[in-house]
Amino acid sequence: MERIGKIFFYEDKNFQGRLHECTSDCTELSSHFAHCNSIRVETGAWVIYERANYMGSQYVLMRGEYADFQRWNGFNDTIRSCRLVRHNSSAHRIRVYERPDFSGQMVEFSEDMPAQTEQWHHRDICSAHVKDGAWVFYEHPNYRGRQYLLEKGEYRRHGEWGALHAAVGSFRCVHGFLNDT
């Protein structure tokens, strides 16, 4: 049985103002609210997007409360689509590569890396293979900057996970329903 996620969008900071509840993927949220200044994730892990149809800057939110858009590293209060992150593995494994097409030096990780250069010694990750689970790449160390969701599969170049550049400062596992017991 597939579990249902639940996320609440609020127009104002600190969970005030107009409210919209979402329990499934939504390609267009603008009919429900004009802007979004706080979010509460009750169940699941969600990726929210600044543009409709899962386009634009993305932010991965796990269960918790985000009292203003800076809490999810947002650049502004615009959210136009969202989707539930689906994965069915309690294990998390990712292989990162120094060059495109899975070439050059490779290292496999199974835990969060708040400053990936401490273990990887390269600022750029040019390709990746997600073996298990789902992961978020962050542009800067300590889970800051632009975010990119990588679900199970192969990413031969950084553009395949939506990045303009191969720079990755940190990354972490996405924990959704498996940790929501």
Residue 117: pLDDT band with limits 50, 70, 90: confident
Mean pLDDT of the chain: 91
Q: What is the pLDDT of residues 157-168, one digit of tens each?
A: 999 999 999 999
146-168 burial, b at 16+ Cβ within 10 Å, e below that, comes to: bbbbbebeebeebeebbbeebbb
CATH superfamily of domain region 6-84: Crystallins (2.60.20.10)
Residue 120's pLDDT is 76
Instruction: Tell whether the model's pLDDT for residue 1 goes beyond 60.
Output: no
Mean pLDDT of 35-59: 95
Instruction: Tell whether the model's pLDDT for residue 155 goes beyond 60.
Output: yes
State what percent of residues in the chain have pLDDT above 90: 83
Distance from chain centroid for Cα 148:
6
Residue 102's pLDDT is 98
Residue 119's pLDDT is 80
Residue 181: pLDDT band with limits 50, 70, 90: very low
Mean pLDDT of 95-114: 96
Residue 87's pLDDT is 75
Q: Are 166 and 35 within 8 A, CB to CB?
A: no
Q: What is the pLDDT of residues 24-39, one digit of tens each?
A: 999 999 999 999 999 9
Sheet of strand 46-51: strand arrangement: 81-84, 46-51, 55-61, 144-150, 135-140, 170-173
Residue 2's pLDDT is 53
Joined together, the tokens standing for residue 113 give: 């890396």
* CATH 2.60.20.10 domain span(s) along the chain: 6-84, 93-179
**What CATH topology corresponds to 93-179?**
Gamma-B Crystallin; domain 1 (2.60.20)
Range of lowest pLDDT (36-50, 79-93, 101-115, 149-163) = 79-93
Mean pLDDT of 88-99: 90
